[in-house]
A = this chain, B = another copy of it.
Amino acid sequence: MQDVYVVGAAQSDFGAFPEESYRSLFATALEHALDSVDGQLDRTDIDEAFLGTLGVGGRQLGLSAPSVTEYAGLDGTSATHIENACAAGGSALRQAVQSIRAGMADVALAGGVEIMTDMSGDRTRYWLGVSGETEWERMAGTTFAGVYAQMADAHMGEYGTTREQLSTVAVKNHRNGAKNPHAHLRFECSLEDAVNGTVVADPLNLYDCCPTSDGAGAAILASREVAKELTDDPVRITGSGHASSRVGLFQRPSLTSIPASQGAAKEAYDDAGISAEDVDFAEVHDCFSIAELLAYEDLGFCAPGEAGTYIESGATEPDGERPVNLSGGLKSKGHPIGATGIGQAVEVFKQLRGEAGDRQADGLERGLTHNVGGSGGAVAVHVYEGGWA
């Protein structure tokens, strides 16, 4: 099995870009990713590409991947579209890892892209709804925020998690994201703001919800042999985990944990030969504030039910024991569905190389990304370490 290294990674700005397309955003991300490679890597060096996107909304549906990659200059390169709703990027990353580990590519591209802000009103709600279960959630009128609201409500009831603890996710992530030049919502918010936001789906308010964003990301992975030629500052992917659980929340045994997060984390930890305590920092899937708290517990950063006190302790602040969402997370950086999982990898790559600018945290050796599809129907977890194996 080949070792896998990230040799370049970048994202477009995340935000609302009416003048951009799937193709132009991805081309931008790929160009910046190639620029981020220390050595000289050309588009023609890429053996295989995997593109994560939900890709709905009237554009090219069949052949979503080659129609995007060809525009970015990858004419002829094998390209495959990977979809797992909001985990599409993380799933694409896993496919690139598999391609290199299998020895079938020396250089593999994991990309992700989404355009969301050109869908107005009802249409946005409809498409967001499709990531829930169709028959008994979406068609019964449950919104996606409503699904996560059920989880928040249950967590508050079962463990005494407070309104303030939920809002602390927003405060922390906005504070981090305000330092990220690529973030969609680059502003800080106070705890008072976050507690008193307009209700979206009780108990979740506006500050508990990530925005809908346009954006793209690209991560270039290489075998050890190729990576050695390209960089002296490698980031190795040491663990990859992927799991599914029932798509409908109502079909799962608990409202306060996501089995696929637990399963993917276990596989990734076993693959990397580590346990949760060994993770220095993480980018987790905070599509809603409650999702970040569930991630703390499902990934083993704290015990079940203790996520509220864990965030309150400051443990996941930039100067805490385990910074989470230094990029601003989905909450502030934005959530362009297919690009989100790749955006997480971009942040871990930058932090491990000390290239995260104003939001650089100290002493980071091992990072994790956690990307959730729907309310937990699919989850991808990856573990990264700085340095050669």
State the A residues within 8 Å of B (CB): 1, 48, 54, 56, 59-67, 69-70, 74-86, 91, 94-95, 97-104, 127, 130-131, 133-134, 240, 242-247, 251, 259-260, 263-264, 271, 373-374, 377-378
Question: B247 contacts A63, CB within 8 Å?
Answer: yes
| Contacts beyond the supplied A60-B130, A60-B134, A62-B374: 15 A-B pairs with Cβ under 8 Å | A1-B1, A62-B131, A63-B84, A63-B378, A75-B244, A76-B244, A76-B260, A77-B244, A78-B243, A78-B263, A79-B378, A80-B378, A100-B102, A101-B104, A104-B240
Partner pick for A60 among B65, B247, B259, CB 8 A cutoff: B247
Which chain B residue shows the least CB distance to A242? B78
Check A102 against B98 for contact (C-beta < 8 Å).
yes
Task: List the 10 closest A-B pairs by CB distance, nearest first.
Answer: A62-B85, A101-B102, A62-B131, A66-B244, A81-B83, A78-B242, A102-B102, A63-B377, A98-B98, A61-B130
Give min CB distance, A370 to chain B, whole Å. Answer: 15
In the bound assembly, the distance between CA atoms of A183 and B299 in angstroms comes to: 47
Q: Name 27 A/B residue pairs within 8 A (Cβ), A-sorted.
A: A1-B102, A61-B127, A61-B130, A62-B84, A62-B85, A62-B130, A63-B131, A63-B247, A63-B373, A66-B246, A66-B373, A67-B133, A67-B134, A70-B251, A75-B244, A75-B246, A78-B243, A78-B263, A78-B264, A80-B83, A80-B84, A80-B95, A80-B242, A80-B378, A98-B99, A98-B101, A104-B240
- Bound CA–CA A1/B98 (angstroms): 11
Q: Are B104 and A69 in contact (CB under 8 A)?
A: no
A97 and B102 form a contact (CB under 8 A): yes
Chain B residues closer than 8 Å to A60, beta-carbon distance: 130, 133-134, 247
Give the shortest distance, in Å, between A128 (CB) and chain B (any CB).
9
Least CB distance, A58 to chain B, in whole angstroms = 9
Q: Which of chain B's residues have a CB closer than 8 A to the CB of A259?
A: 76
User: Which residues on the B side are within 8 Å of A80 (C-beta)?
Assistant: 82-84, 91, 94-95, 242, 378
CB–CB B79/A65 < 8 A: no
B104 touches A67 (CB 8 A): no
